[in-house]
Structures are given as structure tokens and as C-alpha cells.
Structure 1
Amino acid sequence: MTNVKIYRVEGVMLISADKLPTWQRFSVEVRALNEKHALEYIYSVLGSRHKVKRANIKILKIEEIPLEKAESKYVRDLSTLTRMVIK
């Protein structure tokens, strides 16, 4: 079984680059196998939710955090699952 870790990714993204450019800070917690996968997931999610190009996303810090320090309820709940039932 693979060892999934929790990462906190912090950075800034350029919102509405053509009209009124504004740098917006973000901090997202994700579950991933390694930092590279976490970074790819962040680019994908921010691009799809906010229509931000990868060039307009600047990552400031990626850190692995323990389960106790995770602030996201979704990430904590996923990490504590022992089994999953699919119908």
C-alpha cells in the first residue's frame, strides 16, 4: 500500500490578469504521494476553479505536515478512513 502524505501549499496567483490584475494569496492542503504530485494538483485545481494560467501561479512554500496540524476537515476525514464501501 502506498504512503499518502499531507502537504500544505502556499503561494500567490494573479487574478483577472487582463482587467485589473491582483495578486491573491492562497494556502491549500492536499493529499499526495510526493511534492511533485501535490504541485501538479494545485496547478490543476486553481486553473480549473479560477481560470488562472500556470504562469500566473507562484508557489512560495510546500511543506509536509502531520495529520494533527491539518486545518482542512476534508483532508483530515480522508486521512482517517480505514475502508471504503462502493455500491
Structure 2
Amino acid sequence: MKAFLVTGSFADPRKEQPFSIEMAAEDEASVREKTLSTIGSRHKMKRWQIKIDKVEEIPADKVESHLVKYQIGA
């Protein structure tokens, strides 16, 4: 597995809410799917309300999330 940093925003009723989240997955397509699922579930948003701006792979030593570190085996 690889570590990815996903940045984007979603349309909160009052304003545009930015987010940045670290995820572990096999490829970029899986990360996008997992992000849409996670953000949608946490904030009760539809997929069309979530905008992913950037997905970038990050090295294992730059990962901050303990869960992602465990998942990638770092």
C-alpha cells in the first residue's frame, strides 16, 4: 500500500469547507473513491458536493497519521 495526501473542499450550507486527509490505498483511483465515501459519510454530503483538488503520493517518513503509518507498514 501507498500513502496519499488528498486536498479539496465540500459545499457546506454556509460556506465552502476545505479539507486535507491522509489515506492509504493501492492507487489513486482507490484513494478518490475512499475519500468520497469517508467525507460523505462523516458530513452527510453527496458525492457531487465534494470536490477533490489534488491527490499526491507522500513518502512514508512524511506521514503524520498513525493509522496510515500502520496500514502502509512504516
TM-score by length of 1: 0.78
2:71 paired residue number = 78
The separation in 1 between residues aligned to 2:73 and 2:50, in whole angstroms, is 31
The runs of at least 4 consecutive aligned structure 1 residues that moved more than 6 Å come to: none
Q: 2:43 aligns with which of 50, 55, 59?
A: 50
Q: How many residues align?
A: 74
Map of 1:22-41 to 2, 5 A cutoff? 22-41=15-34
Gaps of 5+ in 2: none
- Structure 1 SS opposite 2:64: coil
* Structure that is richer in helix per residue: 2
Shift of 1:52: 0.9
2:16 matches 1:5: no
- Structure 2 SS opposite 1:61: strand
**Larger Rg: 1 or 2?**
1
Shift of 1:12: 0.6
TM-score by length of 2: 0.91
Q: Deviations over 1:1-38 (max 9, x none)?
A: xxx1111000011113xxxx311110011110100000
Percent identity over the alignment is 41
2:66 matches 1:69: no
Q: How well do the aligned residues superpose, as a CA RMSD in angstroms?
A: 1.3
* Structure ranking higher on relative contact order (CA contacts 8 Å, 6+ apart): 2
